[in-house]
Amino acid sequence: MLVTRVIVLLLCFIFSNPSIGSETVNVYSYRKPQLIKPLFNAFTNNTGIKVNSVFAKKGMLEKIVSEGRNSLADLILTVDIGRLTDLKKAGVTQPINSVLVQENIPSNFRDPDGHWFGLTSRARIIVSSKTRVKIGAIKSYEDLISNEWKGRICTRSGKHPYMTALIASVIAASGESEAQTWLSSLKKNLARKPQGNDRAQVRAIYEGQCDVAIINHYYMAMMLADPVQKKWASAINIIFPNQNDRGTHMNVSGAAIAKFAPNKKNAEKLLEFLASSEGQRIYGTKNGEYPVSREVPRSDLLVSWGDFKQDSLSLVDVASYRKKAIMIADRVGYND
């Protein structure tokens, strides 16, 4: 309720400000302002169109639904395939048919009906202690269920969207039965009850609570740039799993045009900019993420980690298995 009230106050201030002209675009964002401001500044410099942005980590979908036709949202920025498909299912997005966007965004990173588009991608990597795990000892997600890792693995909640998407990718690759066996066996190898965010898993390795964890790669970039957390990240090795078969599981940060966008044309222009080489480069560099297009240069840090094989599984397929993934997590009592 508090979050909703804050959003309402911000929207009333920003979108009713008389200084805001007609050449504007309104963005509802799940991403923190400092992560997207450079993008919006570049877009405004290129087009003269002002970007009004409101951030809310929770409650955004509910607000858009409740606003209905009165919503001021033109573009919605969010993360994770689950949240993107939830927007479409809730009926708060509309399709667009942009040749520029389709050319710049690979088909496995966009909705086939044109409702949402991935802009940057994140790898669900494995990290391990530099001192307690030999290089090459783990090569795949499936390796994590070996008895060698009993009591040595840390993860966040099995029903967090990032873990749900990973489980869904295992279902797509190996079937529901095998995925349940994998998750049940992974649970047996946990060093502690699933808890915390991805940074907390790296800290747990640094502090000796576990030796191996599963995280999104960009947290490494963020921790290496943080004076306090740098020592956590420096204590681990990065592993891109499944290079000998399907590749490392990928997810996205993405965007969608709001169903009742009052400034639809400007929203399309902003989406085309975000999907462009310049937009993907700025967005990826600022967030430590990979541009979805292989043609767009990566940041120096990501280049230093080397290239790797990405799972080419369509995120639409990943989303279709999310419900089963959550059911599997419940059945094996992963969070218990």
Exposed / middle / buried, residue 282 (Cβ in 10 Å: 0-12, 13-18, 19+): buried
Q: Which residue has the tokens 């222009």?
A: 269
Task: Give tens-digit pLDDT for 157-196.
Answer: 999 999 999 999 999 999 999 999 999 999 999 999 999 9
- Helix 33-47 / helix 264-275 crossing angle, nearest 10 deg: 110
Cβ atoms 282, 108 nearer than 8 A: no
Contacts of 296 (CB under 8 A, 6+ apart): 277, 280, 281, 284
Same domain assignment for residues 44 and 132: no
Q: What is the CATH number of the domain that holds 177?
A: 3.40.190.10
Residue 65 counted as domain residue: yes
Q: What is the mean pLDDT of residues 108-136?
A: 97
Same domain assignment for residues 101 and 136: no
Residue 303 counted as domain residue: no
Cβ atoms 81, 252 nearer than 8 A: yes
Q: Which residue has the tokens 């079937």?
A: 175
Please tell me the least confidently modeled range out of 21-35, 211-225, 237-251, 282-296.
21-35
Cα–Cα separations (whole angstroms), residue 217 to 126, 127, 321: 9, 9, 23
DSSP 299: P
Residue 263 counted as domain residue: yes
Same domain assignment for residues 281 and 238: no
Residue 149 counted as domain residue: yes
- 4: pLDDT strictly greater than 90: no
Residue 3 counted as domain residue: no
Residue 76 counted as domain residue: yes
DSSP 69: G
Cβ atoms 85, 116 nearer than 8 A: yes
Q: Which residue has the tokens 């560099």?
A: 285
Hey, is 295 helix, strand or coil? Answer: coil
- How far is 213 from 190, CA to CA, in rounded Å? 9
What number of H helices and E strands is found in the chain?
A: 15, 10
Q: Output Rg (C-alpha) for the chain, integer angstroms.
A: 20
- What's this model's pTM, rounded to 2 decimal places? 0.90
Same domain assignment for residues 320 and 193: yes
C-alpha closest to that of 212 among 161, 155, 142? 155
Please tell me the least confidently modeled range out of 6-15, 207-216, 287-296.
6-15
- 9: pLDDT strictly greater than 60: no
Q: Which residue range is the domain that position 204 belongs to?
A: 123-249+312-331
Q: How confident is the model at residue 32 (pLDDT cuts 50, 70, 90)?
A: confident
pLDDT of residue 60: 84
pLDDT of residue 22: 61
Residue 218 counted as domain residue: yes
- 13: pLDDT strictly greater than 80: no
- How far is 293 from 300, CA to CA, in rounded Å? 16
DSSP string computed for 122-140? EEEEEEEETTTS-TTS--S
Q: What is the mean pLDDT of residues 104-111?
A: 96
Q: Which residues make beta-bridge pairs with 124?
A: 216
Please tell me the least confidently modeled range out of 48-52, 63-67, 146-150, 218-222.
63-67
Q: How confident is the model at residue 55 (pLDDT cuts 50, 70, 90)?
A: confident
Residue 19 counted as domain residue: no
pLDDT of residue 3: 44
Q: What is the mean pLDDT of residues 189-209?
A: 98
Contacts of 287 (CB under 8 A, 6+ apart): 35, 120, 218, 253
Same domain assignment for residues 55 and 203: no
Q: How many structural domains does the chain have? A: 2
Q: Which two tokens stand for residue 300?
A: 């120096």
